[in-house]
Amino acid sequence: MLELFHATGTTRVVTGHIHCRKDHEAEGIHFDLAPATCGSQWVKRWPDGDGTMGFFEYEVADDRMEKRFVPLAKVSTRTDGYGPGGHPKPEARDYSLAWE
């Protein structure tokens, strides 16, 4: 993938699904490992990882891109379903809306 990034002049890659915020740079490319809004994980994998839930906001202009982390103003404390603290077992999940 680095070869493709270099060939296309990529300077920033935004990725997620690790549920842990981390800034990383490799071979002149900035990698923004995005935070989650549902729960954190992988925080202990990196000494500079941050499990604070929130999202990135980017301001883009012709000659620059600025990133800002926005923490969630409110975090659910529910533990009986999706979100921090829990995922229902597959047999308890209701996907009926997804099929409509």
**pLDDT values of the chain reduced to their tens digit, one per residue, 100 residues:** 999 999 999 999 999 888 889 998 999 999 999 998 877 877 888 888 899 989 999 999 998 899 999 999 888 766 555 555 556 677 777 788 778 7
| Separation of alpha carbons 28 and 38, rounded Å | 31
* pTM (two decimals): 0.71
Would you list the domain boundaries of the chain? 2-74
Q: Give the Cβ contact number of residue 93 at 10 Å.
A: 12
- Predicted local distance difference test score (pLDDT) of residue 46: 84
